[in-house]
Amino acid sequence: MSEILYIYIIRVVLVPFVMLLLRISSIGSCFVQFLWLFGGSFFCWKPRFQ
């Protein structure tokens, strides 16, 4: 339960950072999309295995 909360906090912190990178450059947006894809899949898969 604490792990899910920890991941949620990380995502809340990353959201403004993601938006900032999207505005900075296209290279940053590609990197952010990769991180968001990984983070999103991890966030969706994690609770199912608990």
- pLDDT tens digits, one per residue of 1-50: 788 888 888 888 887 787 777 677 666 556 666 776 766 555 544 544 44
CB 46 within 8 A of CB 7: yes
pTM of the shown model: 0.31
Within 8 A by CB and 6+ apart from 4, the residues are 46, 47
Q: For residue 24, how many C-alpha atoms fall within 13 Å in the half-sphere facing its CB?
A: 12
